[in-house]
Amino acid sequence: MSKSEIFKKELLKLTEIFTEVDEQKRQLVEGLIEDAAFLKSENYELKEVLKEIGMVNFHPQQKQLQKPVEAAKQYLKNVNSYAVIIKTLNGVLNKNIIEDDDDMSEFE
C-alpha cells in the first residue's frame, strides 16, 4: 500500500467517525484529523524502512556500541504526536456522546 493510500484510508476512517459530531466541533478538529492521517501515512513508510534496517545500528566489532537510526527517532516522535492527536480527538468524541446523553435524559 502506498503512503497516499494510507493517508486517504486514515482520513476517510477518521472523517466517518466524526460524522455524528456537531458541525462546529467537526470543523474545529478538521486540521487534527488531517494531521493524524498524515502522521499515520508517514509512519507507515518509516516502519517499512525500519523493518529492513532496524531501529539501532550496532558497531560491527563492539556490539555494546550502538547508535539509533534517525528514521527510528522520527518514527517515535510521530507515534507520540499521533497518540496525542488521537487522544484529543477521542476527548471531543466522548464529550459529544456525554452531551447527547444529557439531551436524552430530559425524556426519561
Looking at the chain, list the stretches that DSSP marks H as alpha helix, in order from N- to C-terminal side.
3-17, 23-53, 70-105
Task: Tell me the pLDDT of the chain (108 aa) as tens digits.
Answer: 899 999 999 999 999 999 988 899 999 999 999 999 999 999 999 999 999 999 998 888 888 888 999 999 999 999 999 999 999 999 998 887 666 655 555 545
**Rounded to an integer, what distance in angstroms lies between the CA atom of residue 56 and that of residue 26?**
40
Domain boundaries, the chain: 3-105
